[in-house]
Amino acid sequence: MILISINYIFLIIVLMKILMLFFLFITFLTFLYIEHIRFESISALMNSSKLLNIKLISINGSFISNGKFLIIPDPYQKFSHLEVSDNGLMDSNKTVGILSLTDISNNNYTITQKASNKNYLTNTISKIVEINDESPISSIVFVNNFNFKSQKSVNSIPNSFIYNAKFVCGSIRGDEGPLRPGHYDTDISVYNKQNYPITLIWNTVFNNSNSSNSMLTTVNPKQSSGFVCKDIKQLANLNPQDTDLLEGFLIIQIDETNISSETKQSFANEPVSVQVFYSANALDSLPQQTLVEKFVFEIRNDSTGKIPKSFVNKDLEVLTSTDLNSIVPQDAKIKKILSSIYNLTDIEIKNIGIVIKETDLGVGNMIDESSIYNLTDIEIKNIGIVIKETDLGVGNMIDDHAISLLRLSPE
């Protein structure tokens, strides 16, 4: 009897130990499971901030359904590329016209539109976006124009106008072309001729480069809006102070559906006036006031033979500049010019006889350029000049500046 009791107690102790070990095992598994859930939550929270939004809109700004896009490389690193559809399995945003991909990896992605609503034309221009830790959220916009061929009735086709404005911005300092050295600027103005606001959808296409994302600008009735080189350089992600030459086209699109739904008006004729103003300035510095002198003189004799014989004993004319509030002998200026042009030595200049017959003095604007004369003091001393008469006049000079104005017609 006592032996049975002891065995019974021993069995109870063994069972209690087994239960305790089982309880510890369950506790350990529970701890591991909680840590796993917490790790996944943290990872999901970190990756969920990596978001790519693709928006598909019409020329009037409304969202378009049935968009399909090709993304290279695959944001989920499973394949070389990924095709996604609006409101598809991978789209986390169920709003029509907005496709959102979450938990994507850091990379540069090339996105191309593959399909759209049958009433719109697919935008075949690819766009590049970057996802990284500093910019975890990125959005791009594809703008589709109307597909007029899909419309059943001519009356249902909205009028659409597209303007392609050429722009040239920046400077050319050498002979590399394609234009002559100078500073070039472009100003594109759009005037709304209607009695209601009109929304412009515009973007830039740069020479030998990609196009920019589309932008929206509303022009109020009977008012104008402008696009200058500063606006264009911002879309090119360039420093506004960068002076390198930038060329391309600014594309402006408008449609009668851009107008307010309250007006219910349409336009059959061109609703806006688009003009492009080009300017070119080949001068780097601002004008400053200076005096301009004209000398009429005669070379009486030349023993050097360096001056053309047709110039001897003939009335000759030359223009030169002088500084304000300065005192300089007039004959010294003629001596400098002759020495520079005909490369006369000190001895040769002594043997040339000169008579100044007439002078004119004018006030104007000139750019401070480097002098074309280079005579020494000794060479100046050996030129003989006689001044006969002087006159005073007023004149103006302008810089090398060109402008042109071009009125654009829609396509």
| pLDDT bracket for residue 156 (50, 70, 90) | very low
Is the pLDDT score of 220 beyond 80? yes
The pLDDT of residue 195: 86
Contacts of 58 (CB under 8 A, 6+ apart): 64, 120, 143, 144, 145, 146, 257
Is the pLDDT score of 165 beyond 80? yes
64-79 pLDDT per residue, tens: 999 999 999 999 887 8
What is the spatial distance between Cα 374 and Cα 344, in angstroms, rounded to a whole number? 11
Is the pLDDT score of 222 beyond 80? yes
The pLDDT of residue 264: 41
The pLDDT of residue 65: 92
103-153 pLDDT per residue, tens: 898 999 999 999 998 889 999 889 999 999 888 899 999 999 888 765 544
**CA angle, 153 then 158 then 161, to 5°:** 135
Q: What percent of the chain has pLDDT over 90?
A: 23
Average pLDDT, the chain: 77
CATH 2.60.290.11 in the chain, residues? Answer: 157-282
Name residue 95's amino acid. T
The pLDDT of residue 261: 44
b/e 194-204 (16+ beta carbons within 10 angstroms → b): bebebbbbbbb
Is the pLDDT score of 407 beyond 80? no
Asked if 215 and 292 touch (Cβ cutoff 8 Å), the reply is no
Which CATH number describes the domain made up of 157-282?
2.60.290.11
Name residue 16's amino acid. M
Which structure tokens are listed for 87? 């409101």
Instruction: Mean pLDDT check: name the lowest of 91-95, 259-263, 294-298, 315-319.
Output: 259-263
Which CATH architecture is the domain 51-148 placed in?
A: Sandwich (2.60)
Best mean pLDDT range from 224-233, 337-346, 380-389: 224-233
| pLDDT bracket for residue 333 (50, 70, 90) | confident
The pLDDT of residue 40: 59
Could you tell me if residue 325 is left (phi over 0), alpha (psi between -120 and 50 degrees) or otherwise beta? left
The pLDDT of residue 71: 94
The pLDDT of residue 314: 85
Average pLDDT over residues 25-35: 84
| Cα-Cα-Cα-Cα dihedral sign, residues 194, 195, 199, 202 | positive
Pair type for strands 51-58 and 98-102: antiparallel
CATH 2.60.40.10 in the chain, residues? Answer: 51-148
| pLDDT bracket for residue 177 (50, 70, 90) | low
46-57 pLDDT per residue, tens: 445 689 999 999
The pLDDT of residue 375: 47
Is residue 37 within a helix (H) or strand (E), and if so which, with residue range? helix 2-47
What is the spatial distance between Cα 201 and Cα 60, in angstroms, rounded to a whole number? 8
Rounded (10°) CA dihedral 210, 216, 217, 218 = 150
In the DSSP assignment, the letter for residue 157 is: P
Pair type for strands 272-281 and 182-192: antiparallel
What is the spatial distance between Cα 12 and Cα 4, in angstroms, rounded to a whole number? 12
Could you tell me if residue 117 is left (phi over 0), alpha (psi between -120 and 50 degrees) or otherwise beta? beta
Top pLDDT among 256 and 357 is at: 357
3-state secondary structure of 5: helix
What is the spatial distance between Cα 349 and Cα 385, in angstroms, rounded to a whole number? 11
Which structure tokens are listed for 196? 């209601």
Alpha helix segments (H runs only) across 48-114:
none
Average pLDDT over residues 164-175: 85
What is the spatial distance between Cα 203 and Cα 273, in angstroms, rounded to a whole number? 18
